[in-house]
Structure 1
Amino acid sequence: MIWPLRRRAPAMPVAAGLGEIHARFKVAHAGFSLDIDVNLPGRGVSALFGHSGSGKTSCLRCFAGLDQPAEGYLQVNGELWQDSARGIFVPAHQRAVGYVFQHANLFTHLSVQRNLDFGLTRIPLAQRRIAREQAVELLGIGHLLERLPGKLSGGEQQRVAIARALLTSPRLLLLDEPLASLDLKRKQEVLPYLERLHAELQIPVVYVSHSPDEVARLADHLVLLEDGRVSASGPLKETLLRADLPFVFEEDAEAVVDASVLAHDARYGLLQVQLPASGISLQLPHAPLPVGTAVRIKIKARDVSLSLQQAEDSSVLNLLPAQVLAVISVTGQAHVLVRVQVGAEQLIARITRYSCDRLHIQPGQSLWAQVKSVSLLSSSCGAGEQA
């Protein structure tokens, strides 16, 4: 959705907090209340993650100014948009916000070109920071400009909606489950373009999703919401490993790791990637990528086993030297999680309590992590494939 802006309210600068987003909202509805206080990075993607009814969309509506909390504060990279204590509230149509919903909400009687023009012409020339050509190229929609929305796939419609939002030159981009209405094929079509926005634009993004894979692939910062409250907030990789969060002990517990491409074995179809600041590498089935390409990979805790000795005859491709950081258990659980350091990165292994006791695993111990499966989430080339 594009707000029909003619002129924006002048930004209200604040001395502190430049380079971050500070949001504090208290909203009471019948049967539900929202009470959050978070600091988010001033660039990159911050994901709001939680089950249905946790308050994700309510948060986004407060960011956009669609809801006015009785108590609220919002500062975006040095601009004050709301402070209920001082009687300040910049209304929705004057906020420099781009908002994309689950459904594209394009004007069906207008061509793609004219939909884009609607976003662009709402903003005075002096305030435009993103050119039409840049948005068209970023979202790969140049060949669609003369089409009507009814002639587009769901993924194409969402790419046009995102481009239209960008043409309002927002200082904050809000994406409310933009892939939820798409099938898997269309999601895979759109995700590389979202990665490009992340890599090439300075605009901070708040991304709402209930999909763990989307969050792991796109986010830098993770905010976990439960019943209208923040149960965790922090850098993605650190937050996924927190032992005090309930999802850590679910089947999908995982670690997200950054790496770079070293080589490709054409004979066996294996991509070799290297972990940062170490000589440690992993192999995974994947098509070739250019050497040096930055990639993000996901390793599930259930796909990591531990051994006191380096196995010499094993079908497991990835045998990594590791050091135990912590052993995490919960009363009544048959399994424990073992958090290990591998180079500059951390992984988690989900093993039985019996195996943990039999191997006498304890913090500080050196051992071998055997990684059975690795998923390539994303790359700077926009590729992503399950290993």
Structure 2
Amino acid sequence: MTLSVALRHRFAGFTLDVDFQAQAGVTALFGRSGSGKTSVINAVAGLLRPDAGRITLDGRDLANSETGRFLPPHRRGLGYVFQDSRLFPHLSVRQNLLYGRWFARHADRIIFDDVVALLGIGDLLDRRPGALSGGEKQRVAIGRALLSRPRMLLMDEPLAALDDARKSEILPYLERLRDQTRIPILYVSHAMSEVARLATTLVILQDGKVMRAGPLGQLMSDPETAGHLGAEQAGSVLSARVEAHDDDGLTRLSTPLGQLLVPQVSAAPGHLLRLRIHAQDVMLSLTAPQGISALNVLPATVRTVMPGTGPDVLVQLSVGQDHLLARVTARSATALALNPGRPVFAIVKSVAVTRRD
């Protein structure tokens, strides 16, 4: 399923002018506050009528300024999860969920039970929203949207109002939603930790325009993307498989870069996950280091070197079957003669990879 968005809309002192496509999986709209993320998702939902442009879902026009077509929200077949859950306070969780199912063209008991199991809300069905935590409310809101049988799910900063503990609670459910359903998701966030964990496609917005768009892994390891994310957010996102848990509290991961040791992961051997390595946590050496505390030493080759925003440079490395991004000072890059083709060793401290990564 493909969503195509090409629109232009003028606000007071701000013009939204975007053009991108969202494929299957999770497409994340990422950018700072005021970049136009919510305006885009509202246009897709039918809550904003753009001045010009066209929005199509699987070739069907949701909005087209040339033909004058503009489907109202209830005819678009989309589910919307807002930053606040917007549950009906006078209804139980079960009744809130059934309200979403009322909109479905084909509703049945099996789908209801599947959604309840997927989101782990079976014990909440008889409660009212006032008795739920923030994370529980959001899971119910997602369930209500799913039970409307949407062709696509829209999520606007669904975790922004939650503390870190509640975010950690709900993120695994969002991963299950991505992996176990075929419903494409358009996900708005300004938190790169969420985007790196959930997205398959990344669209970076700045001042109402698309700066970069493409597969998440490819963009995250591209030095040109770092300028739009900020130096502290720059890094690489890798697929990984849990190999084993060692007795000293470390977990061995199999990645396209090779084996990596990280602090123990709460997942069984064989489990697939994502790993984020920040560019600032990667050191470089011309020779295989000895007598150091870092456990992850990876043979690599310099691919590109790009000046950063200060006295630093971003170095894209070819490692194994993938790429890794390193952030070092320009002085170090000069001293090491870091030019394309240069063989180096990339060093990643195990403890630099946190649970959030």
What TM-score do the two structures reach when normalised by structure 1?
Answer: 0.88
Deviations 1:324-347 (A, max 9, x none): 1111115x8311111101111111
- Which residue identity is paired with 1:66? L
Alignment map for 1:100-179 (pairs within 5 Å): 100-125=81-106, 131-179=111-159
Residue 72 of structure 1 and its aligned partner are, at CA, apart by: 2.2
What residue number does 1:363 align with?
340
What residue number does 2:68 align with?
87
Partners of 2:53 and 2:64 within 8 A in 1: yes
Partner of 2:170, secondary structure, is helix
What residue number does 1:324 align with?
302
Residue 90 of structure 1 and its aligned partner are, at CA, apart by: 1.3
What residue number does 1:313 align with?
291
Partner of 2:341, secondary structure, is coil
- Which residue identity is paired with 2:12? A
What residue number does 1:284 align with?
262
Q: Which runs of 5+ in 1 are unaligned?
A: 1-18, 378-384
What residue number does 1:13 align with?
none
Counterpart CA distance in 2 for 1:200 and 1:64 is 24
Residue 236 of structure 1 and its aligned partner are, at CA, apart by: 0.9
What TM-score do the two structures reach when normalised by structure 2?
Answer: 0.95
Aligned counterpart in structure 2 of residue 36 of structure 1, from 7, 15, 18: 18
| Equivalent residue pairs, number | 356
What residue number does 1:258 align with?
239
Deviations 1:163-184 (A, max 9, x none): 0000000011000001111111
Residue 23, structure 1, aligned to residue 5, structure 2: yes
Counterpart CA distance in 2 for 1:100 and 1:247 is 26
- Which residue identity is paired with 1:259? A
Counterpart CA distance in 1 for 2:177 and 2:55 is 23
Partners of 1:242 and 1:248 within 8 A in 2: no
What residue number does 2:41 align with?
60
Counterpart CA distance in 1 for 2:332 and 2:229 is 19
Counterpart CA distance in 2 for 1:314 and 1:107 is 58
Q: Which runs of 4+ in 1 moved over 6 A?
A: 127-130, 374-377
What residue number does 1:75 align with?
56
- Which residue identity is paired with 1:323? T
For the aligned residue pairs, the C-alpha RMSD in angstroms reads 1.9
Partner of 2:239, secondary structure, is strand
Counterpart CA distance in 1 for 2:255 and 2:285 is 20
Residue 156 of structure 1 and its aligned partner are, at CA, apart by: 0.4
What residue number does 1:5 align with?
none
Deviations 1:233-259 (A, max 9, x none): 111112223333424661221111111
What residue number does 1:336 align with?
313
- Which residue identity is paired with 1:158? Q
- Which residue identity is paired with 1:223? V
Counterpart CA distance in 2 for 1:129 and 1:299 is 43
Q: Point out the more displaced range, 367-376 or 216-225.
A: 367-376
Counterpart CA distance in 1 for 2:55 and 2:143 is 25
Counterpart CA distance in 1 for 2:229 and 2:128 is 45
Partners of 1:48 and 1:56 within 8 A in 2: yes
Counterpart CA distance in 1 for 2:42 and 2:229 is 29
Alignment map for 1:168-317 (pairs within 5 Å): 168-245=148-225, 246-247=227-228, 250-265=231-246, 267-276=247-256, 280-287=258-265, 289-317=267-295
Counterpart CA distance in 1 for 2:352 and 2:274 is 9
Deviations 1:283-320 (A, max 9, x none): 00114532221110011111101111111211001001
Counterpart CA distance in 1 for 2:217 and 2:83 is 26
Counterpart CA distance in 1 for 2:109 and 2:74 is 18
Counterpart CA distance in 1 for 2:68 and 2:41 is 21
Q: Point out the more displaced range, 56-65 or 238-247.
A: 238-247
